[in-house]
Amino acid sequence: MAKASEKDDKKRGAGGAAKAYDASSITVLEGLEPVRKRPGMYIGTTGPDGLHHLIWEIFDNARDEAMGGHANDIEVALLPGGYVRVADNGRGVPVGIHPKTKVSALETIMTTLHAGGKFGGEDSGYKVSGGLHGVGASVVNALSVHTQVIVHKEGGIHVQEYKIGKPVAKVKKIGSTKLNGTIVKFKPDAEIFKEGIEWNWEKIVAHLRQQAYLVKGVRISVIDARALAKVADEDCFYLRDLEGFEAPSLTFYFEGGLKSLVAFHNRHQEPVHKNIFYVDREQDNVAVEVAFQYVDDITPRITAFANNTYNSEGGTHITGFKTALTRGLNTYGRNANILKEKDENFTGDDVLEGITAVVSVKLPEIQFEGQTKAKLGSVEAQGAVATVFGDALGAFLEENPDDARAIVNKVLLALKARKAAKAAKDSVLRKGALEGMTLPGKLADCQTKSAEESELFIVEGDSAGGSSKQGRDRRTQAILPLRGKILNVERARIDRMLASTEIRALVIAMGTAIGDVFDIAKLRYHKIIIATDADVDGAHIRTLLLTLLYRHFRPIIEGGFVYIAQPPLYKITKGKAVAYAYSDKEKESVLKELGVAASEVSENPTEGEEAAPEEEAVAKKPAKANIQRYKGLGEMNPSELWETTMDPARRVLKRVNVEDAEAADRIFDILMGTDVASRKSFIQSNAKYANLDV
């Protein structure tokens, strides 16, 4: 048994007895101390997502004022020094003395957890709220080195400042005003957010644009003033009103609500019908807003919100939507004689193929499944959506016969394709079929049966396959070489996909099956590593593989099982010293460390290239170092491949994750879809970020 430390002995006290566990053992964290002690409990993470969550919390308060009909103009600004400023023309936070805390209501809200105007039901003026149970403003305050709140209310301008959640002074009146509203300015604490205070402009714009669609008729402006030396905002409500003020900005204002959002989502798609379905109605105290449009695609895209909070896993409102959609299209199809007596009914999968839909509900008492709000659990939402959407869908189909026929014919094609593909799917997808199949002959499997230890390297071509098979650790590393570029699965059905030898081999090797019998628990490798060449063809193959995994094996990506290998670009030798460089910058750094000048280097041309005359002249000089340039994994011998790309102790891997599923979905649409103009525009706009080896 290990000997207890001297520190442990002191804890135990005389005679080694354990210190009594009594009332004095309980630590009480007062005020906002719990937030700083465990920030992840309140904002999820102290990384970039948690940092941006601070903006969402303050913005949500302004947005809830707008949802209640008290505000129609919100401005979010990024300021110099890491500050963020949010202004809204709502009612203004109350500044009078709170009867219980005996301090200003503003101070109570900013310094007390679970204090706010969202607990008192409709009497508070917040019939519905998307805020995190009243902890938002106080959490932001606790995690900021400096916060300032300016309130325009009842003819007066009131201000209070805080440092790390504690008031610097009492609320004071500093002037008179004819306006109403609240301005919150804060600077996050770098001691909490150790990865840095770096605001992502695109992320903020995307979030605020989405919120503008969800709260129609509200103007939301976002300003990037970080490049300015200083912003004198003390005497200004909205920064845009400052004389001579110039900074990049965007303003969002949508009267169409979710209808406009569906049009935005489908901007790169070919619509199947002209009119976008839209309904906005209340049922049993639940506000229901739904919009949808079918496009010429096979992938469904359904976005769900509850009280303006995004529900990535759907919930009861989506269940109600799917039920009513399936019932409504079956009824219309039968009545219009598009579905014949011999035809079977549409299934849920049939009616969802190619639909872009947004479903939003707002209800007073809301319940989510879990802390992340990813899934709505409120039972009443299901019935309300089914009733409101079902009734409106029937009317839409009757009033728009051309659209109705186009929609039902689209779904009928999905039904026929499903039936036609059934035999092909059944041969591969039925329960247990994949387990019975032999692993593909080209797969060099590993010895261990433990998925946690196993790695699958997907490599490009027979040459790289041969080197990697010889250089691998046979116990834990499996190799699957692919020949050429796999099928672009963006618009391919499963039966066509499985007719591809390369895709079929990958599906069988992974062991999860695909489609409706996919089972991530049967994944045979917990590291799936894409190892392609560092050229245009390699990048294309990598994109095709990622498209396949994203569309049909997304849980594998979300589970953190997919990686991209980072083989070196250069091998640098000086005498017996050997080093590898993964970029041109790193190559220069290695040469500097080795004390080698550019004129003292011999560079080997890549395969298929001839050295220029001046390069030949340099090569004839006594060289202190030799640089070998790799274009592909096949150019490495087995030992080099092991040292640089396969050895867990030395290799560099990038884990693939999907931080923003909607953004990823749109990018795959553009890159792998049929909209040539959008793809060309995307490539031109992003070319400056590419590192191509042509």
DSSP state of 376: B
- What pLDDT does residue 314 have? 93
Q: How far is CA 634 from CA 38, 424, 430, in A?
A: 49, 36, 38
Which listed residue (161, 349, 453, 535) is catalytic?
535
Which listed residue (280, 313, 391, 537) is catalytic?
537
pLDDT tens across 483-497, in order? 877 777 766 777 677
- What pLDDT does residue 21 have? 38
Q: Report the percent of the chain where pLDDT is more than 70.
A: 80
Which H or E run contains 311? none
Q: Which residues neighbour 57 within 8 Å (Cβ) at sequence distance 6 or greater?
A: 43, 131, 132, 136, 137, 139, 140
- What pLDDT does residue 632 have? 77
- What pLDDT does residue 597 have? 78
Question: pTM here?
Answer: 0.68
Q: Which two tokens stand for residue 219?
A: 């103007």
- What pLDDT does residue 691 have? 45
At 383, the pLDDT band (50, 70, 90 cuts) reads very high
Q: Is 384 or 687 the better-scoring residue by pLDDT?
A: 384
Computed over every residue of the chain, the mean pLDDT equals 83
- What pLDDT does residue 141 have? 94
Is 665 considered catalytic here?
A: no
- What pLDDT does residue 198 have? 95
Q: Which two tokens stand for residue 443?
A: 């797969």
- What pLDDT does residue 72 have? 95
- What pLDDT does residue 483 have? 82
Over residues 123-138, the mean pLDDT reads 57
Is 460 considered catalytic here?
A: yes
- What pLDDT does residue 480 have? 94
Which H or E run contains 384? helix 379-399
- Report whether pLDDT(43) > 90: no
- Report whether pLDDT(216) > 60: yes
At 150, the pLDDT band (50, 70, 90 cuts) reads very high
Nearest of 545, 548, 532 to residue 489 by alpha carbon? 548
pLDDT tens across 225-257, in order? 999 988 988 779 999 999 888 999 999 999 888
Q: Is 598 or 392 the better-scoring residue by pLDDT?
A: 392
- Report whether pLDDT(132) > 60: no
| Burial environment of residue 253 by CB neighbours within 10 A (0 to 12, 13 to 18, 19 or more) | middle
- What pLDDT does residue 661 have? 45
Least confident of 96-100, 161-165, 624-628, 665-669: 665-669
- What pLDDT does residue 162 have? 96
DSSP string across 41-102: HHHS-SSHHHHHHHHHHHHHHHHHHHHTTS--EEEEEE-GGG-EEEEE-SS----SBPTTTS
Beta strands per DSSP E along 225-285: 249-252, 277-283
pLDDT tens across 392-449, in order? 999 999 999 999 999 999 999 888 887 766 655 555 444 333 444 567 778 999 999 9
Question: DSSP alpha helices (H): ranges in 69-200?
Answer: 105-111, 136-142
Is 224 considered catalytic here?
A: no
Over residues 256-264, the mean pLDDT reads 93
At 610, the pLDDT band (50, 70, 90 cuts) reads very low
- At which residue do the structure tokens 């695109």 appear? 202
At 59, the pLDDT band (50, 70, 90 cuts) reads very high
- At which residue do the structure tokens 């301090």 appear? 103
Nearest of 637, 264, 267, 302 to residue 467 by alpha carbon? 637
Over residues 521-532, the mean pLDDT reads 94
Q: Which two tokens stand for residue 686?
A: 């992003």
pLDDT tens across 551-582, in order? 889 899 989 999 999 888 888 988 888 888 88
Over residues 286-295, the mean pLDDT reads 96
Which listed residue (189, 289, 297, 533) is catalytic?
533
Between CA 378 and CA 356 the distance in angstroms is: 24
Q: Which two tokens stand for residue 459?
A: 């490599």
- What pLDDT does residue 429 have? 46
Buried b (16+ CB within 10 A) or exposed e, 214-248: bbbebbbbbbbbbeeeebebeeebbbeeeeebebe
> What domains can you pick out in the chain, each with its CATH number?
34-252 (3.30.565.10), 258-426 (3.30.230.10), 438-566+656-689 (3.40.50.670), 570-629 (no CATH)
Q: How far is CA 316 from CA 86, 344, 472, 547, in A?
A: 33, 27, 49, 29
Angle at 336 between CA 335 and CA 338, to 5 degrees: 115
Q: Is 636 or 621 the better-scoring residue by pLDDT?
A: 636
Q: Is 82 or 685 the better-scoring residue by pLDDT?
A: 82
Over residues 305-318, the mean pLDDT reads 92
Over residues 100-113, the mean pLDDT reads 88
Is 533 considered catalytic here?
A: yes
> 3-state DSSP helix/strand/coil percent for the chain, to nearest 5?
40, 20, 40
Residue type, 240: R
pLDDT tens across 4-21, in order? 344 444 344 434 444 443
Between CA 612 and CA 603 the distance in angstroms is: 11
Least confident of 154-158, 298-302, 439-443, 570-574: 439-443
Q: Which residues neighbour 434 within 8 Å (Cβ) at sequence distance 6 or greater?
A: 428, 507, 508, 511, 513
- Report whether pLDDT(114) > 80: no
Q: Dihedral sign for Cα 89, 90, 91, 97, please.
A: negative
Q: How far is CA 552 from CA 7, 253, 262, 503, 574, in A?
A: 55, 36, 23, 11, 47
Which listed residue (75, 297, 460, 502) is catalytic?
460
At 323, the pLDDT band (50, 70, 90 cuts) reads very high
Residue type, 601: V
- What pLDDT does residue 609 have? 42
At 666, the pLDDT band (50, 70, 90 cuts) reads low
Q: Compute the radius of gyration of the chain from its Cα atoms.
A: 30
- What pLDDT does residue 41 have? 84
Neighbours of 169 (CB within 10 A): 9
- What pLDDT does residue 692 have? 42
Could you tell me which residues are beta bridge partners of residue 309? 306
